[in-house]
């Protein structure tokens, strides 16, 4: 080993949720799967692109199961572990559940990465699980050509409060819990263009657990929940639209954005996943002519450990925003609405 500073992002071809397979390609792949057999207790499977699988255990308990892993989005091993774990647990929160335990998924290039660095990645993930009040109860590891880390996450919820994509309703208001711009900041970091304040903004949002999820799920008037990750805001909102057979409108001027991401986006900086996402959306994403190019890129930016997206009745909005505020999500904002029509998203200025 040399004294050259460790760069985790230099060991992989992609990073964070920007590694995800593009939505259009994934849809084509899944279309070739055999038809799923009916299981009476499988409350949520693959039919509506929801965040996790849900299995009814009994009349008062449902098991939520998900897995999420990716390659480094930052160079600091401890921060990488924290971000990956926060992202994985988010899918449990997005279904309205509370995590109960996690299993680690570890693939590391042992010939390139010091064992101390690998240990710090695992410690970062364990620290987030400790914050969530759950153990890392096991896992699996392999010697891999690129560093990969994530979790299998299990959680519990009452069957009646599980929030599915298909349950959004016409007239619902859309509330986004975290600011956008993670992929843009990550791309700037790789280019050496991200200052300390911008990095701090990125770490603060990507390591913040989406703990409002189970509280929001129990509020009257909250109909659907998801989280915004690798497909960007547009991609995950389209999943809500398709699940519920509705359209949506987003107000670009109302989107919460990390301050450091705005000038970078205006300079055209961002991950390759933006172009892949936009190509996959096709005609299902419509932009008014006065929406700036950087705003179009922002709504397609791959978010890693992004915010909860809530579809709720108008009268529930004050309560939804208050839950976010109580959990430390001061940036949560109303960004648009669901409506009758084709399953597409219109972005207005």
Cβ-based neighbour number of residue 21 at 10 Å: 14
Range list of H helices, the chain: 23-31, 77-94, 115-132, 182-190, 196-206, 212-217, 232-244, 261-266, 273-281, 293-300, 317-326
17 is catalytic: yes
Please name which of 174, 170, 172, 202 lies closest in space to residue 186, comparing C-alpha atoms.
202
Distance set, CA 7 to CA 4, 93, 194, 328 (Å): 9, 31, 15, 31
Cα–Cα dist 117/54, whole Å: 35
The residues pairing with 104 across neighbouring beta strands, listed in sequence order, are 139, 151
Could you count the other beta carbons within 10 Å of the beta carbon of residue 40? 6
Report the 10 Å Cβ neighbour count for 235: 28
User: 325 near 332, Cβ under 8 Å?
Assistant: yes
Both tokens assigned to 207? 């390591």
In the structure encoding, which two tokens stand for residue 99, read together? Answer: 């995590």
Cα pseudo-dihedral 266, 288, 243, 334, rounded to 10: 70
Of 17, 19, 241, 312, catalytic: 17
* Catalytic center residues: 17
């Amino acid at each position: 080993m040399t004294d050259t500073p460790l760069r985790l992002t230099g060991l992989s071809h992609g990073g964070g949720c920007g590694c995800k397979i593009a939505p259009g390609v994934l849809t084509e792949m899944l279309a070739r799967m055999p038809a799923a057999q009916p299981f009476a207790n499988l409350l949520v499977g693959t039919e509506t692109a929801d965040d996790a699988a849900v299995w009814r255990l009994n009349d008062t308990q449902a098991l939520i199961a998900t897995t999420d892993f990716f390659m480094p989005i930052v160079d600091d091993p401890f921060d990488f572990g924290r971000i990956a774990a926060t992202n994985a647990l988010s899918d449990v929160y997005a279904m309205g559940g509370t995590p109960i335990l996690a299993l680690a998924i570890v693939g590391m290039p042992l010939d390139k990465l010091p064992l101390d660095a690998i240990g710090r990645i695992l410690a970062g993930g364990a620290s987030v699980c400790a914050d969530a009040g759950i153990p890392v109860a096991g896992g699996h590891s392999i010697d891999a050509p690129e560093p990969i880390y994530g979790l299998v996450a299990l959680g519990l919820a009452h069957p009646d409060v599980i929030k599915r994509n298909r349950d959004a309703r016409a007239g619902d208001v859309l509330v986004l819990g975290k600011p956008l711009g993670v992929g843009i900041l990550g791309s700037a970091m790789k280019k050496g263009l991200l200052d300390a304040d911008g990095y701090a903004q990125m770490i603060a949002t990507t390591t913040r657990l989406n703990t409002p999820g189970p509280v929001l799920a129990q509020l009257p008037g909250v109909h659907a929940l998801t989280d915004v990750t690798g497909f960007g805001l547009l991609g995950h909102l389209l999943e809500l639209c398709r699940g519920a057979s509705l359209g949506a409108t987003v107000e670009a001027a109302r989107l919460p954005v990390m301050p450091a991401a705005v000038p970078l986006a205006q300079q055209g900086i961002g991950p390759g996943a933006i172009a892949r996402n936009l190509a996959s959306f096709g005609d299902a994403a419509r932009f008014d002519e006065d929406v700036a190019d950087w705003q179009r890129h922002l709504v397609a930016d791959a978010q890693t450990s992004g915010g909860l997206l809530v579809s709720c009745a108008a009268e529930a909005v004050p309560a939804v925003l208050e839950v976010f505020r109580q959990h430390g999500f001061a940036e949560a904002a109303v960004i648009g609405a669901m409506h009758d029509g084709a399953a597409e998203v219109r972005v207005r200025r």
